[in-house]
Chain A
Amino acid sequence: MALIYLGLAMKDLIGIAGYVVSIGHPDPHAYVDILRLRLEVMHHCKNPGVIGRRAGTMEWILSPAPYIAVMRWVGPDAKIYRVLASARMKVSRPTFVGRSRKPIRVGN
């Protein structure tokens, strides 16, 4: 019973670590540890995951981090294919609410 990673998944995780550092996160090591622990817990609980976007794949939601691990159960082992952002990383702040055409004033 093991967690196995494809090379691309490892590349993704290294990319995430680089991104977390680049945005000036106060504790990148802790952030990366959250991902690791989340994967370990999912694996330990034998979480089947949700049905993936591609046939035959499953997805683990690595909340609270905004990432999804695309995986497959191969017998007792979990094979991680990719670890990808679950949403766009840069979300533009909405300037309008509902049908109102008046911009929201923030602050003063």
Chain B
Amino acid sequence: MAEPIKLENLRDLISMGAVKTATILGQKGGFAVLAKAGVQERILANKVGQVRMFATTDTAVKELARLGLSLFVVDITQYEKGLLRAPRTDVTERAKRAAAALEHEQWFRAQVDEALQQEESGVATLHDHDDVWAEVTKATAVALARKNSEPTSLTTATPSRGRKKGS
């Protein structure tokens, strides 16, 4: 097992020219970075000394490029598809809420645009306050009457899940 090396130390070694090449090593669910310093192999570690894993080769390549290393090998012989971290359900929920808010905003603007266009083109009809509310009250009464005239669904006995006694 290669000895771990922290990011700052690896940067120093690269800047001194001690490390010229690295291997992006495929592992279960991600990729580790193995740097070759002379005859020694050092694996990139995080701040607490654990092997630093990258979810994709892209992120590993970006990190190596940031360190100043432009030559590396990708080894996927031990790579296994999987997730490094558990999926963030809270982030998904937040993103869904943001998307829904955006959708509502677009709908709102479209509704206002429709009214403004109607006014500009001269097809919009104008109504007095009293007339409008007389219509609204009438519509409410009609909707209520319709709802009240609907036959109420009778409650039926739900079939029991369990097996009947004696059957």
Chain A contact residues, CB within 8 Å of chain B: 2-10, 13-14, 17-18, 20-22, 28-29, 32, 36, 39-40, 52-54, 57, 68, 70, 79, 81-82, 84-85, 87-88, 92, 94-96, 98-101
Inter-subunit contact A32/B89 (CB<8 Å): no
Inter-subunit contact A32/B137 (CB<8 Å): yes
A84 neighbours in B (Cβ, 8 Å): 108, 111-112
- A88 to B126 CA separation, bound complex (whole angstroms): 28
- A100 to B89 CA separation, bound complex (whole angstroms): 9
Per-residue CB proximity of B120-156 to A under 8 Å, as 1/0?
0000111111001101110111011001000000000
Min C-beta distance of B121 to chain A, whole Å: 12
B111 neighbours in A (Cβ, 8 Å): 8, 82, 84
Inter-subunit contact A6/B108 (CB<8 Å): no
A3 neighbours in B (Cβ, 8 Å): 128-129
Inter-subunit contact A5/B129 (CB<8 Å): yes
Q: How many residues of B contact A (CB 8 A)?
A: 36
Inter-subunit contact A6/B125 (CB<8 Å): yes
Inter-subunit contact A14/B136 (CB<8 Å): yes
Which 5 residue pairs are nearest across A and B when measured between Cβ atoms? Answer: A21-B143, A7-B125, A3-B129, A81-B115, A17-B140
A52 neighbours in B (Cβ, 8 Å): 112
Inter-subunit contact B139/A96 (CB<8 Å): no
Inter-subunit contact A81/B116 (CB<8 Å): yes
* A-B CB contact pairs (8 Å), 6 listed: A6-B119, A32-B137, A84-B108, A94-B93, A95-B93, A100-B90
B143 neighbours in A (Cβ, 8 Å): 17-18, 21-22, 28
B128 neighbours in A (Cβ, 8 Å): 2-5
List the B residue with the shortest CB-CB distance to A56: B116
